[in-house]
A = this chain, B = another copy of it.
Amino acid sequence: MLTIGTLAKRTGTKVQTIRYYESIGLMPEPERTEGGQRRYSQTGLDRLAFVRHGRQLGFSLEAIRDLLDLADNPAQSCADADSIAQRQLKEVEDRIARLQALQVELKRMIGDCGHHSVADCRVLEVLRDHSECLTDHDHIGA
């Protein structure tokens, strides 16, 4: 039986995060001591590890919830899990492409700057005038 703190350490999660997962129903309510403290079993550890691992791979909690459902019902086809992962891969690839465009633009912005006065600073210049952009980045938040 593990305390919430031990579980946190083992999985690299903050204690509050575990309680948060419980509050949104991603983690089941664990046993409690007489005093009301949470005690976890191996099952709890496994489930949290699954969740954390999914997060590390960039899945949303919503996607992880779906994946957990699939994992809990091992009779169905694997296609659903596969398509969730496919969607995730596509998103990751999109993000990479966008970030690479930003990278080019930022490099160009910085490269030209020789630390002269702000009056003719490339960085500010580029921000002021979109037409100086090579890329027509239209996504926000990257």
Residues on A facing B (Cβ under 8 Å): 12, 46, 49-50, 52-58, 67, 70-71, 73-79, 81-82, 84-86, 88-89, 92-93, 95-96, 99-100, 102-103, 105-107, 109-110, 113-124, 126-128, 130, 133, 137-142
Q: By the criterion CB–CB under 8 Å, are A113 and B82 in contact? A: yes
Complex interface: chain B residues within 8 A of A49 (CB): 128, 130
Cross-chain contact of A78 among B71, B73, B82, B117 (Cβ < 8 A): B117
Let me know if A77 and B110 touch, CB within 8 A: no
Task: Give the Cβ gap from A140 to chain B, nearest Cβ, in Å.
Answer: 5
Complexed CA–CA distance, A109 and B84 (Å): 11
- B113 near A74: Cβ-Cβ < 8 Å: no
